[in-house]
Amino acid sequence: MKFNGKNISLGKNVKLGKNVRIGDNTVIYDNVEIADNSIICNNCIIGEPTKDYYTNKNYKNPKTKIGINSLIRSHSIIYASVETGSNFSTGHRVIIREKSKFGDYCMIGTMSDIQGYVKFGNYCRLHSSVHICQHSEIGNFVFIYPFVVFTNDPHPPSTVWKGPKIGNFTQIAVSSIINSGVKVGNNCLVAANSFIKTNMPDFTVFAGSPAKNISDIRTIKSKQISGMHYPWMKNFRKGMPWEKIGFDKWQKKKGNG
């Protein structure tokens, strides 16, 4: 019952690719482009206009792009000017505000709240209820867990906004805070419930509030295999581009190794 063509509203200059399916009660505003094979479920809003819409008679909705093979689950709201890569997917009730850019294969969990003016790399996975502040910059293969919040204001309220910057392959566990302007390196682990106030070098584990460097990530024993768990890419393949051949081979193939 998702795809009956019931009560769908399409704005002007909406471009739908091949095999695109649109759920009931979904609204797509002007100048939205949805690429081939994508699915927009029920009750979504794509291309939600920004505040000017209410006050500026000459308001023109900026272009919005949803990449191929994407799946936007029900009740999600994606603002005008957002651009996603291919194979983008969301849970339910996701909010993605204006000027957000996503690479390929990103997953944004249920009720996550992307405040806009952010940049994501490829293969990022946000679990439910993650809050990403404006001006955040997030690398590739970054996983973020529930109730994590990124902040951008060193002394609230001010007008000196500076988002966090997160390196590749980094994991940020539940209920952690990443402070304004902090740089987290590649292959890091932010332990659950941490408050990150200082930069994190590559391969470090930080824990606590304020968080401290407690170990090298490569010293954490796996509960899954005999040996070390990190870099996690050797032990976790599901949905990753190295799913079939393993991380090492994939990396060599790509010429990164």
Sheet holding 183-184, edge to edge: 119-120, 137-138, 165-166, 183-184
CB 42 within 8 A of CB 12: no
CB of 13 to a second copy, least distance (A): 13
Token readout for 14 is: 């909406």
Task: Work out the number of other CB atoms within 10 angstroms of the CB of residue 119.
Answer: 16
CB of 256 to a second copy, least distance (A): 20
Q: Which residues contact 95 (CB under 8 A, 6 or more apart)?
A: 76, 77, 112, 113, 114
CB of 143 to a second copy, least distance (A): 6
CB of 213 to a second copy, least distance (A): 17
Measured from the CB atom, the residue of 179 and 204 that comes closer to a second copy is 179
Measured from the CB atom, the residue of 64 and 74 that comes closer to a second copy is 74
Q: How many CA atoms lie within 13 A of 201 on its CB side?
A: 7
55's enclosing H/E stretch is helix 52-55
CB 187 within 8 A of CB 217: yes
Measured from the CB atom, the residue of 175 and 199 that comes closer to a second copy is 175
Give the footprint of a second copy on this chain (CB under 8 A): 1, 4, 6-7, 9, 11, 24-25, 27, 29, 39, 42-43, 45, 48, 54, 71, 74-75, 77, 92-93, 95, 110-111, 113, 115, 128-129, 131, 143, 145-147, 149, 151, 154-160, 171, 173-175, 177, 179, 192-193, 195, 208-209, 220, 222-224, 229-230, 232, 235-236, 238
Measured from the CB atom, the residue of 57 and 255 that comes closer to a second copy is 57
CA–CA gap between residue 131 and residue 111 (Å, rounded): 9
Name residue 26's amino acid.
T
Measured from the CB atom, the residue of 65 and 73 that comes closer to a second copy is 73
CB of 155 to a second copy, least distance (A): 5
Measured from the CB atom, the residue of 120 and 230 that comes closer to a second copy is 230
CB 60 within 8 A of CB 42: no
CB 233 within 8 A of CB 243: no
Token readout for 130 is: 């993650």
CB of 211 to a second copy, least distance (A): 10
